[in-house]
Structure 1
Amino acid sequence: MGWQSSQSFAWDQLQPSQLTSGSQMRRAFRSVVSTPRSWTVRVRSDGKETSLGAIVESDGWILTKASQLEGEVTCELSTAERYQAEIIGVDGKLDLALIKIDAKNLPTVKWKSDADPQVGQWLVTPGLSMSPVSVGVLSVARRKIDPAPGVLGVQIDDAVGGALVKHVMRESGAEEAGLKPGDVILSVAGEEIDSARALSNFVRKFLPGDRVLVKVLREKEEVTAVVVLTDPQMLIYDRLREMQKKMGGALSRRKTGFTEVLQHDTVLRPEDCGGVIVDLQGNAIGLNIARAGRTKSFAIPANHVVPMIQKLKLKEYAPYNPLKDARQHTVSATTSS
């Protein structure tokens, strides 16, 4: 279809029949993503879809969402070609990762960083297929998203030499990592733990989505596990979590602590973050970084993303490795106790 000026409001540009069908609505935007889909890759970790990515340099440099990555990373192009990828650099503040594949002469992102779209304008998320992954409008102009503290997802008490795990919360990072009631947590990210209070105070320095190495004493044997920290709200409010799943799907683990974001109402899976979001001219105005609510997603503006490419390429930011001191790779959240 022929699009009007990008200054027009979104709903004025579609036929009534296109507003009642999600697939028809996405199909109407195929011309917008005909080029951007060629810059887009599907990122998998250990064979599982984890994020989208954006090709930023033609010899195989790709940006994606950092906190989604773990294990063996591969990328699939819009041409269906698949490559193994190496994580080169990670910036915890923006939750960005630069990865590298062995490929040449790839199409690259066309950024637009000189001006933001206006509230109410269409924004489109390309995937690998001809139709976009999702379509929405800019709902809130750029703003800061304050950090929330990460939590392990355990109820704890004091123990000799550490913190005793009394209960492991359902769907928490601790449960996924295999922590059990009766474990005594001895250290987190290299920091020795001598009490329940010390554990709580230390973990609060990290963000949801951060990975930390946890050492526990289990039946007289020391065991280590990498725990992905959880958003405390989604643990406390079981009904909220279940309602969100039924009404709009899962939210991103890391969705707070960003200096500036563009908020849009696009419905994205967490696995569809990490790639670009474009205006109606197909220009990338930012990188989708988090699904934060039923109709609330965040994108890092292009003027924050572009300067990071060379910094990550030159390894000014180390690749994330929870077996090292995680404090070097994550953002300290300043929160009240």
Structure 2
Amino acid sequence: MKRIGLIVLAAFIGGAAAIGAYKLLERNNDGMTLAEKQNVLFANNPVKISSTGAVDFVQAASVVSPAVVHIKTSYGSSSGNERGGSGSPMDMFEEFFGGGGRSRPRMPRAASGSGVILTPDGYIVTNNHVVENADKIEVILSDRRKVMAKVIGKDPNTDLALIKVEETNLPIVKMGNSDNVQIGEWVLAVGFPLDLQTTVTAGIVSAKARSIGILARQQGQPTEEEYDEYRRTGKAPERTNNSIESFIQTDAAINPGNSGGALVNASGELIGINAAIASQTGTNEGYGFAIPVNLAKKVLEDFRKYGAVKRGYIGVSFRPLDADYAEELKIKDINGLYVSDVLPNGGGAAAGIQKGDIIKKVEGIAIYDSPDLQEKIGRMSPGDKVQLTVLRNGALKDVNVTLKGDASVNLAKATPAAKSTGTTISKLGAAFAPASAQVKARYGAKNGVVVTSVEPGKVFDSMDLPKGLLVTTVNGKPVNSAKDVEAALPTSKNGMTTISGVGPNGNYTFTF
């Protein structure tokens, strides 16, 4: 009897110690990344669900569905955002919010999408295009409660956004490893299509590292056709394409409203964020596209830390090789990325990469197309080192590149000089001067102010916003002078300030 009592006592003490350790970690995890917080939660609360090879999705669906939320957004008439539809069957915004590929002159008054809860304290991942320019973001939880959300960060180059609601003890979805996803693997898409309640659909992974050009079109960035024209005529595109597309393609049914929802494997692990569909009609025709979660992890953590993405660049322009392009270049290789240009002051130039090199591997892994490289670099930050294997004069050579940030671009060459004078706004730590007609014409802008100086340690400096950038709106209001910038600052939504504009690397939006 005493022995049984000792066993019970030992079990009680062990359980109490485990609970105490978990609560201690819970109180001291503010410095943890989103992924680390999840590791702690799932290490202490393991969930037994079906294996990845199982055809029965009941357990996976039951685990994921409570943590996928319905997002409803509204737009005021003063948002000032006119956005014409491209009419493309791949038009992401049209397909997920209706329109069937038709041109739409203005933002909708209201729209809806989906989101995935990542932490019990309310961090939710969704798409940039779900919340972009929204005046009000309402999140409907699985228990039908409605709560307001604020934007932590958003990035049009990956179409990712991180929002937050002030709630606790929320259900979450476990982040998986998208590198382990295999073509032919079973997956589930979970979201709120067509304004229906939580809906789960099943399919397989049809392809990986798929680029469909949708993000560049949404931002008015150069298409592959424009780059081909550049190669033929030498006339450079006015903007650089910095979008990162390396989608997971699936035939699980995805429809308008699924945008920002979860793509999970049969174990219920998040492997992608649903973002787009290929459709002639505006509804599912068999192919959907999701952003890999491994890319999302880095972007979302930057949002949480800085409010914006700190992206590293190799500093080279390249084009995937194929038989036709190899014949045009009069070379034998038909695999790899042909370096067509090396940017001055970039990481590639410093590492010795040359025009005409063929990038064959990144960190020892063979690459064949642009997404193979772009996604891996998209997970890295300025200052990170990456090993590239290049083919030069018939020999393979390993090159170690230190990635550089946006500020490494030769702004003096890329942007017409603005006046060195300007009015300083201490809250932003930057000075602004009215943009000249030449600067506005270069970027196709109707209005704007140029950043003429940045103070070390202040907001603009911490967000890597360098001199020469053209700021077009502050909190959605057009600006033409430093006085306009100051007047627009108090109009922030949910206590967050949003600054949008354009620079040598394309459009940008920062929220802080």
TM-score with structure 1 setting the length: 0.55
Distance 1:42 1:114, change over 3 A: closer
Work out whether 1:149 is the aligned partner of 2:177.
no
SS in 1 for 2:306: coil
CA distance in 1, matches of 2:50, 2:60: 12
SS of residue in 2 equivalent to 1:274: coil
Structure 1's 105 and 139: CA in aligned 2 closer, same or farther, altered over 3 A?
A: same
The equivalent of 2:167 in structure 1 is 103
Does residue 327 (structure 1) correspond to residue 499 (structure 2)? The answer is no
Q: What are the residue-to-residue correspondences of 1:66-145 with 2, within 5 Å? A: 66-69=128-131, 70-113=134-177, 115-127=179-191, 132-145=199-212
Amino acid at match of 1:96: L
**Displacement after TM superposition at 1:295 (Å):** 1.7
Which of 283, 287, 294 lines up with 1:296 in the alignment? Answer: 287
Deviation string 1:167-215 (CA, Å, 9 cap, x unpaired) is xxxxxxxxxxxxxxxxxxxxxxxxxxxxxxxxxx86x7789xxxxxxxx
Secondary structure of residue in 2 paired with 1:93: coil
What is the rounded CA distance, in whole Å, between the counterparts of 2:219 and 2:167 in structure 1? 39
When residues 49 and 141 of structure 1 are mapped into structure 2, their CA distance, relative to the original with a 3 A threshold, is: same
Q: Distance in 2 between matches of 1:31 and 1:130?
A: 19
Structure 2 residue 314 is the aligned partner of structure 1 residue 314: no
Instruction: Give the residue type in structure 1 aligned to 2:300.
Output: I
- Secondary structure of 1:133's aligned partner: strand
User: In structure 2, what is the equivalent of residue 268 of structure 1?
Assistant: 254
Q: What's the secondary structure of 1:38's corresponding residue?
A: helix
Looking at secondary structure, tell me which structure has more helix per residue: 2
Asked if 1:52 corresponds to 2:80, the answer is no
Residue by residue, what CA displacement relative to the aligned partner does 1:33-63 show, whole Å, maximum 9, x if unpaired?
A: 1011121110000294421101112111111
2:57 maps to 1:6: no
* Structure 2 alignment gaps of length 5 or more: 1-48, 75-108, 221-236, 280-284, 309-462, 464-472, 478-498
Paired with 2:216 and 2:293, the residues of 1 have a C-alpha distance of: 24
Report the Cα offset of residue 71 of structure 1.
2.4
1:320–1:291 distance in 2 versus 1, CA, 3 Å? farther
RMSD: 3.4
**1:287 lines up with 2:273 in the alignment:** yes
Distance across 1 between alignment mates of 2:184 and 2:252: 12
Kindly indicate whether residue 67 of structure 2 is the aligned counterpart of residue 39 of structure 1: yes
Matches of 1:315 and 1:104, distance apart in 2: 23
What residue in structure 1 maps to residue 326 of structure 2?
Answer: none
Say if 2:245 is the partner of 1:259: yes
Shift in Å, 1:121: 1.9
- Looking at structure 2, the residues matched to 49 and 296 of structure 1 have their Cα atoms a distance apart, in angstroms, of 22
Judge which range, 45-54 or 283-292, deviates more. 45-54
Contact 2:50 2:60 in 1 (8 A): no
1:45 aligns to what SS in structure 2? Answer: strand
- CA contact 1:58–1:108 (8 Å) conserved in 2: yes
Q: Distance in 1 between matches of 2:240 and 2:124?
A: 29
The separation in 2 between residues aligned to 1:289 and 1:269, in whole angstroms, is: 10
Question: What are structure 1's unaligned runs of at least 5 residues?
Answer: 14-27, 153-200, 208-256
Tell me the CA shift for residue 331 of structure 1.
4.8
Structure 2 residue matching 1:126: 3-state secondary structure: strand
Higher-strand-fraction structure = 1
Q: Aligned to 1:35, what secondary structure does the other structure show? A: helix
User: Is the 1:60–1:102 Cα contact (8 Å) retained in structure 2?
Assistant: yes
| Structure number, greater radius of gyration | 2
Q: 1:93 to 1:151 in 2, by over 3 A?
A: closer
Residues 263 and 270 in structure 2, CA contact (< 8 A), matched pair in contact too:
yes
Pair 1:104–1:142, CA change in 2 (3 A): same
How has the CA–CA distance of structure 1 residues 103 and 331 changed in structure 2, closer, same or farther, with 3 Å as cutoff? farther
1:144 shift after superposition: 3.7
Contact 1:53–1:63 (Cα < 8 Å) also in 2:
yes
